[in-house]
Amino acid sequence: MRLSYFHSPDRVPAEGMGAAAVVIDVLRATTTMAWALHHGAEAVQAFADLAALDAAAQSWPAERCLRAGERGGQKLEGFDLGNSPLAVTADVVSGRRIFMSTTNGTRALDRVQQAPLLLTCALANRSAVAQRLMDHQPATVWVVGSGWEGAYSLEDSLAAGALVDALLGQQGSTSSALLQLCGNDEAAAAHALWLQWQGQPEQALRLASHGQRLQRLGDHDADLACCAAVDSLTVVPVQSEPGVLRSS
């Protein structure tokens, strides 16, 4: 297995595709998706475009449909949900499909939608995702951070490094294993970042520019704590059809 990390969708190569792709948006889309599926959502259907989301949601039975929209860290007016993992409780989402569009995360998913195996990862489920990759043994894995409007994000790179570390834990944490696993410098750098912050993941999220943005927008302490809770979930969101993620 050879893993390459790209810190934003814009960095993903235009040609070719990894045998597997893993999309990360710790703050907060992939954390929210994992918690929604954990609490019984039928699926999360991701959209880069709001018009496409509206069209798809209108074709779904209203009692089994929730619209989740976020831009700039804030819930979109008229939507049922924003992008908080704390809002997707079982009483809200169980049995329902969530039609979701966010500032960065759903755009990243759209970029690698054609991957033969597409998973989403957050700090909350990184060990479960690592185990799924070990089960499938794809030759190449593209890990895509969602970033912030094309820019680097600390929290997504932290989670990419955590995923690398979990894979190393199953393969043997040696320098030669790291050399064999990391397909580019960004993957190795993400792992080094994780080693620096693994004992203080919430502090790292608060240091990140998007963590600071959320704090300026209001009281997001509980969201930050939830997003920083490493290995708190075993659910692995997997694309079952284009744009549709289900628990597996």
Domain that holds residue 123: 2-247
Which pTM value belongs to this model? Answer: 0.96
b/e string for 11-46 if b means 16 or more Cβ within 10 A? bbeeeeebbbbbbbbbbbbbbbbbbbbbbbbbbbbb
Distance CA 71, CA 189 (A): 29
pLDDT by 10s per residue, the chain, length 248: 999 999 999 999 988 899 999 999 999 999 999 999 999 999 999 999 999 999 999 999 999 999 999 999 999 999 999 999 999 999 999 999 999 999 999 999 999 999 999 999 999 999 999 999 999 999 999 999 999 888 999 999 999 999 999 999 876 566 789 999 999 999 999 999 999 999 999 999 999 999 999 999 988 999 999 999 999 999 999 999 999 999 98
Q: How many domains does the chain have?
A: 1
HEC secondary structure over 202-233: HHHHHHCHHHHHHHHHCCCHHHHHHHCCCCCC
pLDDT tens by residue, 59-86: 999 999 999 999 999 999 999 999 999 9
- CATH code assigned at 109: 3.90.1560.10
